[in-house]
Amino acid sequence: MQDTYICLMEVEIIFEDETILIVNKPNNVLIHKSYYARNIKDETLLELVYKQTGLNLYPVHRLDRKTSGVLVLAKQKEQVAIFQALFNTNEIQKTYLGIVRGFVAEPTLINSPVKNPDTQVYKEAETYCKPLQIVQLNIPVHPYETSRYSLVELKPSSGRMHQLRIHMNKMSHPIVGDYKYGDRFHNRMFENEFNCHNLFLHAVSLSFKHPLTEKQLNIKARIPEDWTYLFSKFEWKVDI
């Protein structure tokens, strides 16, 4: 008797060929079970995609549970290393969007080591941050009478765990919705005023030459609905 699965969350598939499947990962979804998230019982991305496609897939890289956006999955386990090599040699251009506290005045290259949670060893990490839009709201957030935010483009040239979140915190521009490295007063304001509870970090695009077909791929993941809602509230016009 064939098993019947009900997929409660539809995962957007952006690209597929014989070797890979590229998806737009939703917020608050683990890619797979892990020691660090052992208390989370929700279905993982791999489980959701399996129910949707019937494919057993293997992640080529990672995104935090609370980060949304472009994610590459390999169809064969032995092909994972082929695609991972592109990340390890910086042959893939990764672009993220973030909504952060305060006004980011100018493009900045952040070069600051990030600690590996397993080994406790710091490793070199580099992120390019470019401001795109700003907004000042007449909503008080402790200790100020107004609140300021920036939409930024982030391009990491390394792939350390929580790198972007740590780097933006070090710039004193923490990402909105980040309860580990962020500002609880601003996070609470977004929840109370806009009913927004997610981390505002989205992997918006990946660009790379396919190592097997040699075709250039420029993959974009549309932004989640809570982002479009805020863009309309803040009157931000961004070509994504």
Q: The tokens of 74 are what? A: 């390999």
Task: Compute CA distances 119 → 39, 82, 109, 114, whole Å.
Answer: 22, 25, 26, 12
| Contacting residues for 95 by C-beta, under 8 A, at least 6 apart | 153, 154, 155, 203, 204, 205, 206, 207
With a CB cutoff of 8 Å and minimum separation 6, the contacts of 166 are 112, 114, 125, 160, 181
Catalytic-role residue among 64, 178, 183, 226:
64
Is 64 annotated in the active site? yes
Give the catalytic positions in this structure. Answer: 64
